[in-house]
């Protein structure tokens, strides 16, 4: 099977390639606008905005995994979300059609549901609160229209919750780093629960969908359970690292005011700052999602949520020689 990953040079893509390399019957190609530090030998440089390049490099492909996306909280200009996430989807579909490829796995996001929803399943109405979520939903709408016109295609959409793991430098890493430093302070009461997903399980689920050959058009939320409250998450990290943090809770309104102040400061300095109003809102929001469809699909994650946290914490903040030498190590352990 020939699998082409579009956008495989980043965090999730690198782990996905490492997982795929366990299978001797797979031929892999990575198309990305950035060179892969780990897998340059299978990487070609191209942009999803360049349909001619996609047409050329997708030749001979059996399955496309579309990971490429603009996803950071502070992308500027905001039109980049729609250029990459929506137009990039259209270009990918047209290039697939030109090459006779009918199998696609697309990583969307639970951001399409918006904030503070009541454990939404895949059938919950879309209500994104930011440009990233809106662009991801528009990309899904393109896929819906495409499948209506191409019912013989096999399209699988994964909507993962926030993904964490070794070498990730996103919001979860920033949170874990603050807790590990002992300088963390809680905004809000900390009772809000967060769905999370460990990268080792996410890439295994992508592989599962490809090898199981799900037919038709399918959408799956992906979450590793059980969901933790912010208080529980902080307590677990503090306990695992034997750290101490201030047991002070700042009210939400004060945290949001600080977030808007940093927004203004960032504009004045023309810099992207770690603290922002969007991140404060996301931190204090309830972000729980129903992933029972994926859980009943037959997929068995190799790691528990706490197991994934332990691996991440040990690698990033208390590394041993073995763990630091092989961050892409995939084992079958639920510890």
Q: Where in the sequence numbering do the catalytic residues fall?
A: 132
In sequence order, which residues have a C-beta less than 8 Å from that of residue 321 and are 6 or more positions away?
none
Cα four-point dihedral sign 123, 12, 238, 245 = negative
Write the DSSP symbol of residue 328: T
Let me know how long the chain is. Answer: 335
The residues that bridge with 193 in the sheet, in sequence order, are 229
Q: How far apart are CA 114 and CA 129, in angstroms?
A: 5
Write the DSSP symbol of residue 83: I
DSSP count for the chain of H helices, then E strands:
13, 12
Q: How far apart are CA 146 and CA 31, in angstroms?
A: 22
In three-state secondary structure terms, 41 is helix
């Amino acid at each position: 099977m020939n699998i082409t990953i579009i956008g495989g040079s980043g965090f999730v893509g690198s782990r996905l390639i490492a997982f795929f390399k366990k299978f001797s019957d797979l031929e892999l190609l990575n198309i990305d606008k950035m060179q892969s530090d780990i897998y340059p030998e299978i990487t070609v440089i191209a942009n999803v905005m360049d349909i001619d390049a996609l047409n050329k490099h997708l030749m001979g492909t059996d399955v496309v995994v579309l990971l490429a996306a603009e996803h950071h909280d502070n992308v500027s200009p905001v039109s980049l979300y729609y250029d990459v996430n929506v137009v990039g989807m259209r270009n990918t579909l047209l290039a697939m059609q030109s090459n006779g490829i009918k199998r696609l796995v697309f990583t969307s996001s639970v951001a399409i549901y918006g904030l503070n929803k009541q454990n939404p399943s895949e059938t919950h109405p879309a209500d994104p609160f930011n440009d990233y979520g809106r662009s991801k939903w528009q990309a899904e709408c393109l896929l819906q229209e495409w499948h209506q016109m191409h019912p013989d295609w096999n399209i699988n959409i994964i909507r993962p919750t926030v993904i964490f793991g070794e070498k990730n430098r996103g919001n979860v890493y920033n949170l874990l780093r603050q807790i590990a430093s002992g300088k963390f302070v809680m905004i809000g009461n900390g009772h809000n629960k967060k769905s999370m997903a460990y990268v080792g399980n996410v890439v295994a689920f992508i592989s599962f969908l490809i090898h199981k050959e799900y037919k038709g058009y399918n959408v799956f939320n992906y979450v590793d359970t059980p969901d933790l409250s912010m208080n529980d998450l902080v307590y677990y990290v503090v306990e695992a690292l034997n750290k101490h943090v201030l047991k002070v809770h700042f009210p939400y309104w004060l945290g949001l005011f600080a977030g808007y102040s940093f927004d203004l400061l960032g504009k004045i300095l023309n810099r992207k700052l770690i603290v922002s109003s969007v991140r404060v809102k996301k931190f204090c929001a309830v972000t729980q999602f129903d992933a029972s469809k994926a859980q009943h699909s037959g997929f068995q994650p190799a790691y528990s949520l706490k197991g994934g946290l332990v691996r991440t914490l040990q690698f990033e903040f208390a590394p041993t020689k073995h763990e630091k030498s092989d961050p892409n190590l995939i084992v079958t352990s639920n510890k």
